[in-house]
Amino acid sequence: MTERLVVSPSPHWKTGKTVPALMLDVVMALMPAVVASVVFFGWKALAIILTSVSSAVISEAVYEKAVKREVTIKDYSAVITGILLAMNMPPGVPLWMPAIGSAFAIVIAKQLFGGLGCNFVNPALAGRAFLMAAWPLHMTRDWLAPGFFGGVDAAASATPLAVLKGASGGALPGIWDMLLGNRAGCLGETSIIAILIGGIYLIWKEVIDPRIPLGFIGTVFVLTWVFGKPGAFFQGNAVYHILSGGLFLGAFFMATDYVTSPVTAKGRLLMGIGCGAITVLIRLWGGYPEGVSYSILLMNLVTPLIDRVVVPRYYGWKGEARKEKAL
């Protein structure tokens, strides 16, 4: 081995954080939501999660073997993609759907663009968008009414967002049920408390930046409060809007993906606000009842632009000089 001089830009200060350690933190943070999904939707939920995770890990290994790249399944990133995709699926879907969705997410959205760190959109959300476009009926109809451990009612059940939009009848569940997760919805999005536990853990461990989830949820809250009720301002059911759908899951676990979110503090706030605005746009005036996943995908695409706009101030430069430099 010859000694090599490593030339790299600052900062040169290193923390002990490594990719697998960070990823493991995210996996740990997702566990409350995983447990909640199994509690409310029974073993079917566990089967979907396991299928999705194993499909993600196997596709990553097979693809990397096939193109003779280093096999990176031990860094847990494929595991996270698998869990997140499962969390984004209705509990009644057939098991081949998470399998195909995860394979698509890993191979098409992640590996073909160069693997971890090079994907331009969040792989799990790309997988969800693909499934949504490929089998829309399964993705929008296979809801189950929640019950404790296998007490799941097989009858289709309306999600609170569909009820809010007037797309389907039925009564809204109480706030307490919404917080706990006792309502129809995708696997991992129903239990706000479980997601919050994981989210706060990630913020405490400094894995994610609170600006994105706070900006995201805050924007949705304000906009749905102002515009939520047709024909009247400031009367929208904002509390319901932020608690329903995949907002908390998306805000804490998917919009905060390092690879596809801006690197500066200001940029991250912009990312959160942008996601919130697009979500509200889709929820209130768009064709779908839920807009969280598409809003994050869209903001993923403009992340490089955000990074260009909010160039951090050069150390020692002020006002005008900075502007000149930024151009």
Site residues, other proteins (CB under 8 A): 108, 112, 130, 133-136
Q: Which two tokens stand for residue 226?
A: 């102002």
Q: Return the number of the residue (129 or 180) whose C-beta is nearest other proteins.
A: 129
CB of 127 to other proteins, least distance (A): 12
Paired with 145 in beta bridges are 153
Determine the straight-line distance between the first and last CA of the chain, rounded to whole angstroms. 43
Alpha-carbon span 60 to 198, nearest angstrom: 26
Residue with tokens 């809250």: 221
The dihedrals phi and psi of 116, each to the nearest 5 degrees, come to -55, 130
Alpha-carbon span 327 to 324, nearest angstrom: 6
Q: Return the number of the residue (126 or 195) whose C-beta is nearest other proteins.
A: 126
CB of 133 to other proteins, least distance (A): 4
CB of 109 to other proteins, least distance (A): 11
CB of 301 to other proteins, least distance (A): 14
Q: Return the number of the residue (130 or 288) whose C-beta is nearest other proteins.
A: 130
Q: Which two tokens stand for residue 148?
A: 């404790």
Q: Return the number of the residue (115 or 198) whose C-beta is nearest other proteins.
A: 115
Q: Return the number of the residue (134 or 239) whose C-beta is nearest other proteins.
A: 134
CB of 121 to other proteins, least distance (A): 13
Q: Which two tokens stand for residue 281?
A: 């746009």
CB of 90 to other proteins, least distance (A): 15
Q: Return the number of the residue (134 or 305) whose C-beta is nearest other proteins.
A: 134
Q: Return the number of the residue (110 or 211) whose C-beta is nearest other proteins.
A: 110
Residue with tokens 């889709």: 282
Enumerate helices (H) and strands (E) in the chain, giving the number of each.
15, 0
Distance of CA 299 to the CA centre of its chain: 12
Three-state DSSP at 289 gives coil
Q: For 222, how many CA atoms within 13 A lie in the half-sphere containing its CB? A: 8
CB 324 within 8 Å of CB 314: no
Alpha-carbon span 184 to 173, nearest angstrom: 9
CB of 260 to other proteins, least distance (A): 19
